[in-house]
Structure 1
Amino acid sequence: MKLQLIRNATMKIEYGGKTFLTDPMLSPKGAIRSFAGIAENPTVDLPMPVDEILQGVDAVIVSHNHPDHLDEPAVAGLNKTMPVFCQPRDDSFLVENGFWQVFPISSKHTWEGIDFSRTGGRHGQGEIGKLMGEVSGFVLQASGEPTLYWAGDSIWCDEVKEAIERFSPDVIITHSGGATLPGHDPIIMTGEETISLSKAAPDARVVAVHLEALDHCTVTREGLRKMRDEASIPDSRLVIPEDGETVNL
């Protein structure tokens, strides 16, 4: 298994002989409205051309239909015959935009020898959580591969804890930028919550993404590395990749 962080939650994951593109946000820097009134999004450029990002991709996984996880250039530029896996509430949007092979996963789905299980999460607490809507994580399992749990846009909550207990993942991908809309609590994991998750899953390798690409994200890589070191968690156990970096798992 290999994981290449592109930017934010956009990754290329080689798993079970297939290459998956996750949460494609392919917009150039500054093309999306500000979320926190600080800067237009994304706040950084893609680390490589879009053609290079799309090269070799076999399928797409969309955790939820928000513009920083599925944007207009991705909808327009992706091959419409490519399989797209999503949560049930987002399938109609994808079909309406011309995708031919849309697979909404209610609980479990198997494709090309890879088992997909959908997990729950909370995109914030209270009223902001309700406003942000339903989000999903996904667990991938295949013969000869580590069990991968991509938690998606969720805070550290019971649903995430239950997924860890149920699947005992070898690799966990967290969205750890501490994204915060003005006047509300964070809507994805903070640095402290990422440390809590890492301690709760001592046998897993955690990969923290969704950092330093959007104006409402408050956690920096440097800040999370400092928390990791203070918690005495090895950098091999809590990996914090740069945009464009590939991690062998």
Structure 2
Amino acid sequence: MVIRFQRRRSFADRLDGPLPNVRDVLRFMWKEKQRGTVLDRRLVPLHGGPLPGVEPHDVAVTWIGHATFLLRAAGCRVVTDPVWSTLIPGVPPRLSPPGLAFEELLPVDAVLISHNHYDHLDASTLARFPRSTPVLVPLGLGNWFTRRGFTDVRELDWWDSTALGPLRFDFVPARHWSRRGVWDFCRSLWGGWIVTAPDGRSLYHAGDTGYGSFFAEIGRRFPNIELAMLPIGAYHPPWLMRSVHLTPEDAVAAAADTGAGRLAGMHWATFPLTGEPVLQPLERLRGAWFAAGGSGELLWDLAVGETRILPR
């Protein structure tokens, strides 16, 4: 099944504010190289052990690392932005191993892709999935999958929805951009996903994003978000990164905007994309959360490989 393939040449009109320019990015990369930052992999919180079982009516979330989660609901298994590779183009090696062996992941009922950057769309990992696996992608990205033999590919625009089995999937806006090569700037869309179980409970995976008014609109349209999975890393230096990445403080504000009952941080402790210390995103997230009056049980400060289950 292939749904709504987009022939549009550019989504640059969806950009919300200026992007980091090439000169600034090169200047940042040179400074980081000169600084010789050493990231201590031993600091990354890891949760060992096998994947715990769940009941069919449970809604369970496992953080595998970076933006990769295994979501289990209504007897289905859904994986977001799957990246099991140790190396991806343009950044140092992975800091922490995947929190789940790939062999334990399969089979899955759906793969969700937020956008085409290499740390979210990993060709080596996706090559390991059966080609019959349903894949939900942003507009403009479907052909990337069909060229690799996937047979059930669905493209969605912002606010589009589709169903797979008992689950509903809605694609929602983000403040980001797309590019994999020299000639494909913003040729495909970017965004986040709302996954809704039959009982109405929803999970929100934001993909990669900066802060914007769309978070409040997501909250208005989806009033039953139980958990928001929001990026909290890759923000240093803020003059370069804040237009396209959330700071931990931004993530707390975004979770409040959506009305989410719980917040889980992601997009940190996996690939050293920018210059902040490895544990700083989590420390700042906790500080901002408690300063805003949040309770400890509602902040899911997951370790890599950790699973939590939503209360019924």
CA contact (8 A) 2:114 2:137 kept: yes
**1:8 aligned residue:** 66
- Counterpart position of 2:151: 100
Q: Provide the rounded CA distance (Å) in 2 between the counterparts of 1:175 and 1:247.
A: 18
Equivalent-residue separation in structure 1 for 2:260 and 2:78 (angstroms) = 25
- The aligned counterpart of 1:127 is none
Runs of 4+ in 1 over 6 A off after TM superposition: none
Which residue of 1 is the match for residue 42 of structure 2? none
> Number of residues paired by the alignment?
237
Aligned counterparts of 2:260 and 2:136: Cα–Cα separation in 1: 28
Say whether 1:195 aligns with 2:248: no
Q: What TM-score, normalized to structure 1?
A: 0.85
Q: What's the offset of the Cα at 1:8?
A: 0.4
Counterpart of 1:120, as a letter, is: P
Alpha carbons of structure 1 residues 178 and 231: separation in structure 2 relative to 1, 3 Å: farther
- Answer whether contact 2:219 2:259 (CA < 8 A) is retained: no
The whole-number CA distance in structure 2 between the counterparts of 1:223 and 1:44 is 20
Which residue in the other structure is 1:50 paired with? 102
Query: Match of 1:198, as an amino acid?
Result: A
Deviation track 1:29-68 (CA, whole Å, cap 9, x = no partner) reads: xx22344xxxx1323222343222x234222111112111
Alignment of 1:205-216 (within 5 A): 205-216=262-273
**Residue 178 and residue 193 in structure 1: after superposition, are their counterparts in 2 closer, same or farther (change >3 A)?**
farther
Q: CA 1:245/1:230 → structure 2, altered by over 3 Å: closer, same or farther?
A: same
Compute the RMSD of aligned alpha carbons: 2.4
User: In the superposition, relative to structure 1, how do residues 152 and 86 fare at CA in structure 2: closer, same or farther (>3 Å)?
Assistant: same
Q: Structure 2 length normalisation: TM-score?
A: 0.69
> Per the alignment, do residues 41 and 2 of structure 1 end up closer, same or farther by CA in structure 2, a change over 3 Å counting?
same
Identical pairs, percent: 24
Structure 1: 5+ residue stretches without partners: 125-130
Residue ranges of structure 2 left out of the alignment (5+ in a row): 1-58, 178-184
| Larger Rg, first or second structure (1 or 2) | 2
1:190 CA displacement: 0.8
User: Does the alignment pair 1:110 with 2:166?
Assistant: no
- Deviation track 1:81-133 (CA, whole Å, cap 9, x = no partner) reads 11111112211101111111111123111221222111111017xxxxxx677
**CA deviation string 1:175-231 (max 9, x = no partner):** 121445796233221111012123334552122211111212535223322332333
**Does the alignment pair 1:86 with 2:137?**
yes
Match of 1:149 in 2: 204
